Amino acid sequence: MNRFSGKTALVTGAASGIGAATARLLAAQGARVLLVDIADEAGEQVAAEINGSGGEAAYLHGDVGSAAAWTAARDEVARRFGRLDVLHANGPGRVVDARPLHEMPEEDWDRQIGVSLKAAYLAAHTFCPMLAGNRGAIVITSSVHAHTGVPGCGPYAAAKGGLQSLARQLAVDYAPDVRVNVVVPGPTMSAAWDAIGADGRAATVRETPAGRFGRPDEVAAAVAFLASDEASFITGACLNVDGGWSVSTSSS
């Protein structure tokens, strides 16, 4: 399938997990892809794999919470591609320890919001004009934490819920020139689960009607759909890719 033939894409958090799977899939479907991450070795490796399998990709170091990194990404996209069609605004997961808010230092709150919610502002602020020129699409990665409280995850939940509200707002502000949608993953096997022990993983599987973790490529398929012309009448939408986790009573 070459549904992104002639198109260009920027994927952040692209060195592993969902971002890497999206970069691989968009490239396999014809897009030229710029990968942005802070894990340089892994990011370079994903780009090299894509190039080695007939795709076209490059890697750029960039912290999604930094305005300067977004400016550098815009300069690189302009230099390398001259246009942008697809932006997958995908970042790290929870970057601070889980604890109730009264025990949470202000810097933890700022860090999570800064790397999750502010990154989406920076993405839109930096790239909407360029995307608008090509009737482009943004897909933002949220989480089922936006809808369901999980103990100790206040700033992560607030950021992920805020991303969904922000996407709806952007969909209105930039219509009809830029479509903005959200992918809402549930438990997806990636490095994000490395720190969770076997018991925690087994409990998560029990909570998930599909009876297993999702794979990053299953989330990437939803991102690619939302970014493609097949979704040309879809904007401001949130698509759960969670094996039924968010509609199951056992997850709440």
Q: Do the Cβ atoms of 27 and 59 come closer than 8 Å? A: no
Contact between 218 and ligand NAD (CB under 6 A)? no
Q: Is 208 in the site for ligand NAD (CB under 6 A)?
A: no
Quick check: 115 binds ligand NAD (CB under 6 A)?
yes
Residue from 10, 18, 86, 226 touching ligand NAD (CB under 6 A): that is 18
CB of 219 to ligand NAD, least distance (A): 7
Q: Please choose, out of 8-16, 97-105, 127-135, 169-177, the segment that lies near ligand NAD by the rule CB under 6 A.
A: 8-16
Active-site option among 59, 121, 156, 174: 156
> In whole angstroms, what is the distance from residue 57 CA to residue 71 CA?
19
Binding residue (CB under 6 A) for ligand NAD from 7, 8, 11, 13: 13
Pairing of strands 179-185, 238-241: parallel
Shorter beta-carbon distance to ligand NAD: residue 136 or 185: 185
CA distances to 14, 32, 66, 239 from 220, rounded to whole Å, are 11, 16, 25, 12
Question: Quick check: helix, strand or coil at residue 50?
Answer: helix
Per CB under 6 A, the list member of 7, 8, 19, 243 interacting with ligand NAD is 19
**Nearest CA to 116 among 88, 156, 86, 148?**
156
Give yes or no for residue 85 binding ligand NAD (CB under 6 A): no
Q: Are 207 and 248 in contact (CB under 8 A)?
A: yes
Q: Does 35 bind ligand NAD (CB under 6 A)?
A: no
Question: Which residues, numbered 162-201, are part of the site for ligand NAD (CB under 6 A)?
Answer: 185, 187-188, 190-192
* Residue 72 lies near ligand NAD (rule: CB under 6 A): no
Question: CA torsion sign, 229 to 231 to 234 to 240?
Answer: negative
Q: By CB under 6 A, tell whether 155 contacts ligand NAD.
A: no
Does the annotation count 174 as an active-site position? Answer: no
| Interaction between residue 136 and ligand NAD (CB under 6 A) | no
Least CB distance to ligand NAD at residue 233 (A): 26
Number of residues binding to ligand NAD, judged by CB under 6 A: 27
- Smallest separation, CB 125 to ligand NAD (Å): 16
Q: Of 29, 59, 62, give the one whose Cα is nearest residue 46.
A: 59
Q: Annotated active-site positions, please? A: 156
Residues that bind ligand NAD (CB under 6 A): 12-13, 15-19, 37-39, 63-65, 90-93, 115, 141, 143, 185, 187-188, 190-192, 216
